[in-house]
Amino acid sequence: MIKQTRLVAGTVLLAGLTMAPLAQATDLRFASGYPTNSIASDALEIFESRLQEYSGGSLDVDIFELSLLNLAEASAGVRDGMADMAVVLTPYFPAEYPHTNMVAEISMSIELSDEPMSQSGLIYTGAMSEYILFHCSECQDEFSSQNQLFLGSASTPAYSLLCNTPVNSLETLENKQLRTSGAMWARWAEEMGANPITMSVNEIYEGLSQGVVDCSVQSTAELSVFNLFEVVNAITLNYPGGVFSGVGVGNINKDSWQSLSKDQRQALLRAAATLSAEFSWGYDAGALENEITAREQGIDITKPTAAMRETNQAFIRDDLQTIADNYAERYEIQDPEAKIAKFQELLSKWEGLIDNIESGEELADLYWEEVFSRVDVASYGQ
């Protein structure tokens, strides 16, 4: 599973040529379901560089983009050792990760603030990472049962409607075929009179181009990630809102983790903080850049009306209790309201921490100091 690479030097001896090993580096195979030259690809490139730096060259990573495992295969692939690490999108696997998905599913609650959270994806990433690593032993057990460990989260910016035709009123939203990536957005679509459709992110381009879906509910950052500029004609910005945060941005196979030394685990965690930061920062910056590009290309961009926002917030308030009830009934989660309240407490904390961050590097330092550096590498995952 882990490939050992030897750096060798040849020494000519009287008996002939021998190869003397000078050092060993452990190569981790990382499967990414995202395409090359994407935001995720850029984040992984920085992760690779930092991993080499922090480990003093004892760790390296071979990154396989859209070749070893796709996003739908990632969880089982890491579990079974087809890859040492991968980006695992937990909402793709509702039965395997219910505790993790419950707090990811309340992300639309950020729209209930008096003023919408700025850089909501960066806030959610910090809160998710801290919650899973220090406040949710059940979340850790979910990953462990899949023979993997959670090494940090990542989140998109607030979700928008990426459509074939403008959606600028509640009336124009009715009967639309909406690709959704989470249960809360599916419920929202139904409440608004639209029809939710489940579809992998790798299928969205074809779905929009062939008219199978009218809109995709996702971040504007993904216009460039999945080349959707070619098939999107209209955007309703930051509506319905919420972020996609059910992301194990660098989940690792338990056997691979346990084979590493304590120093290597510490280096990997430090690099994982960078991966969480650069992934989320890249998406946040990419969303703003793509909105500018969309306007330049003549794509219609609109914001929700007052009536759309009011209806949206009414749905979100009711849906918070629906989420708690659903997870208690379907997955027997105990005290879901208390768990949700704890997570919302962390969201408020992280909203203040993010205020003065101006780069992905600064964000990585913050995630490291507040979360990842506190993990006990001697006991975590053992």
Does any domain span residue 322? no
The CATH number linked to 74 is 3.40.190.170
Does any domain span residue 4? no
Give the pLDDT mean for 330-343. 96
* Lowest model confidence (mean pLDDT) among 29-33, 125-129, 220-224, 331-335: 220-224
Domain co-membership, 144 together with 251: yes
> Terminal CA-to-CA distance of the chain, rounded, Å?
19
Q: Tokens 């409440």 sit at which residue?
A: 191
Predicted confidence band of residue 128 (pLDDT cuts 50, 70, 90) = very high
pLDDT at residue 337, rounded to an integer: 96
* 4 has pLDDT over 80: no
Domain co-membership, 68 together with 180: no
Domain co-membership, 204 together with 99: no
Domain co-membership, 257 together with 186: no
Per-residue pLDDT tens digits for 240-278:
999 999 999 999 999 999 999 999 999 999 999 999 999
Domain co-membership, 134 together with 174: no
DSSP, res 176: -
Rounded to an integer, what distance in angstroms lies between the CA atom of residue 155 and that of residue 141?
22
Q: Which domain holds residue 219?
A: 160-241+300-310
Average pLDDT, whole number, for the chain? 91
Does any domain span residue 317? no
Does any domain span residue 204? yes
Domain co-membership, 181 together with 231: yes
Domain co-membership, 91 together with 150: yes
Q: Tokens 């962390």 sit at which residue?
A: 346
Domain co-membership, 147 together with 195: no
* 373 has pLDDT over 70: yes
> 292: closest CA among 230, 341, 220?
220
Per-residue pLDDT tens digits for 138-153:
999 999 999 999 999 9
Rounded to an integer, what distance in angstroms lies between the CA atom of residue 114 and that of residue 133?
29
The CATH number linked to 187 is 3.40.190.10
Rounded to an integer, what distance in angstroms lies between the CA atom of residue 311 and that of residue 192?
9
* 23 has pLDDT over 80: no
Per-residue pLDDT tens digits for 70-115:
999 999 999 999 999 999 999 889 999 999 999 999 999 988 876 6
Does any domain span residue 68? yes
Domain co-membership, 174 together with 151: no
Number of structural domains in the chain: 2
Name the H helices within the chain: 39-54, 74-79, 98-105, 120-134, 137-145, 170-173, 183-191, 204-209, 222-225, 254-258, 262-296, 306-331, 336-353, 360-370
Give the pLDDT mean for 230-235. 96
Domain co-membership, 257 together with 349: yes
Q: Within its chain, how far is the Cα of 209 from the centroid? A: 25
Rounded to an integer, what distance in angstroms lies between the CA atom of residue 253 and that of residue 83?
8
Domain co-membership, 83 together with 29: yes
Does any domain span residue 33? yes
Give the pLDDT mean for 300-329. 95
Does any domain span residue 177? yes
